[in-house]
Amino acid sequence: MKVTLLGAGAWGTAMASQAARHLQDGDVCLWSRSADQLQEIAQSGENKSYLPGINLPKNLHLEADFSAAINRLSEQDLLVVATPMSGLAETITQVLQVAKHPLNIIWLCKGLEPATALLPHQVVEREHQLHGRGLTHAYGALSGPSFAHEVGAGMPCALTVASASAQLCEIVQAAFHHDNMRVYSSDDLIGVELGGAVKNVLAIAAGIGDGLQLGLNARAAVLTRGLAEMMRLVKAAGGKSETCMGLTGVGDLILTATGDLSRNRRVGLELAAGKSLNEILASLGHVAEGVLCAAAVSDLAKRLGVDMPITAMMGEVLSSKLTPKEAVKKLMGRDPKIEA
């Protein structure tokens, strides 16, 4: 089989490496809009800008021609969109415009579209209605607790692919389930995608708590009550609340809220230190999806009538309506409730 990955950031590069370790020479293609970036990768053998220190497989094919990267695939192959959430709509539109036959498509991004509070699959469905050209593509999301650098290094990892298409899930497993990576399947696309969005916001909250030195008790409370918020939202949106107890919910939440490689956790730590959001984002060099989708998650919760106080407070902190300390005070001052 052949695999094409669109986007040579940290995640796209790491997952391209994972597939290339198992497949044949040239079967895995990594596309980038920057020919200069691809030339640097070819010369150095690593993606120094996004995944430094990781030697990439020599059988990895690098491609700057978008149409060629897409149309090298057959109906049994796999296309992976490895852009941030902000690039999903544009990339899918371009794919639909150049595709010559039905494709198997998954995305790696986590979050909601900020302006619309749409989930990734809803963004894709919207673009498909506008640009689908009569082709019926299979769609899905690949998510779970994973840092790109560790995946690129071949360290143990477990992910979940979610799709209404069982065949697509099997294709994704054939591409990535080998060596130190396990890939489970699910039909709960809503639950998997919402888990990936909400956990980023909660990781900022956990980072703020740690940055303010509120203690391990406080961190446990944030994660536990944050998980309850996630489960309520997933159920209200039409997903399965039990999905939140798996890799793409509690698993990804634990990793992102406690791992030192987490960009969202780092945002929380630096907000607690008194830095401005603009200053923090400028120093990151990479996207922190929790910042981009916090307001959208809160908007979706309001639309569905779901109470998400931790998420709501993070939205107010990120929009500079509250300081981190004020947000903690408001959360701790809420009326007592029944735990359910």
For residue 340, what pLDDT is reported? 77
- The strands making up 28-31's β-sheet, listed across from edge to edge, are 61-63, 28-31, 3-6, 78-81, 104-107, 138-143, 157-162, 181-186
100 and 228 together in one domain: no
236 and 135 together in one domain: no
For residue 192, being part of any structural domain is answered with: no
For residue 83, what pLDDT is reported? 96
For residue 340, being part of any structural domain is answered with: no
224 and 115 together in one domain: no
For residue 21, being part of any structural domain is answered with: yes
Nearest to 138 by CA among 110, 107, 175, 116: 107
For residue 246, what pLDDT is reported? 98
For residue 107, being part of any structural domain is answered with: yes
211 and 162 together in one domain: no
**Catalytic one among 2, 110, 199, 235?**
199
For residue 163, what pLDDT is reported? 98
For residue 112, what pLDDT is reported? 97
110 in active site: no
User: In this structure, what token pair is assigned to residue 133?
Assistant: 């050209």
Q: Which of 187, 206, 233 is the last residue of a domain?
A: 187
48 and 98 together in one domain: yes
For residue 84, what pLDDT is reported? 94
Q: Which of 131, 158, 187 is the last residue of a domain?
A: 187
For residue 338, being part of any structural domain is answered with: no
For residue 215, being part of any structural domain is answered with: yes
Query: One-letter amino acid identity for 286?
Result: H
The residue range of the domain holding 292 is 197-332
CATH number (domain holding residue 295) = 1.10.1040.10
178 and 238 together in one domain: no
202 and 152 together in one domain: no
51 and 143 together in one domain: yes
203 and 85 together in one domain: no
What is the number of structural domains in the chain? Answer: 2
For residue 247, being part of any structural domain is answered with: yes
For residue 67, being part of any structural domain is answered with: yes
Per-residue pLDDT of the chain (340 residues; tens, 9 = 90+): 999 999 999 999 999 999 999 999 999 999 999 999 999 999 999 999 999 999 999 999 999 999 999 999 999 999 999 999 999 999 999 999 999 999 999 999 999 999 999 999 999 999 999 999 999 999 999 999 999 999 999 999 999 999 999 999 999 999 999 999 999 999 999 999 999 999 999 999 999 999 999 999 999 999 999 999 999 999 999 999 999 999 999 999 999 999 999 999 999 999 999 999 999 999 987 778 999 999 999 999 999 999 999 999 999 999 999 999 999 999 999 999 999 7
256 and 137 together in one domain: no
172 and 228 together in one domain: no
For residue 92, what pLDDT is reported? 98
CATH number (domain holding residue 69) = 3.40.50.720
183 and 219 together in one domain: no
Q: Which of 187, 220, 238 is the last residue of a domain?
A: 187
For residue 270, what pLDDT is reported? 97
Contacts of 94 (CB under 8 A, 6+ apart): 66
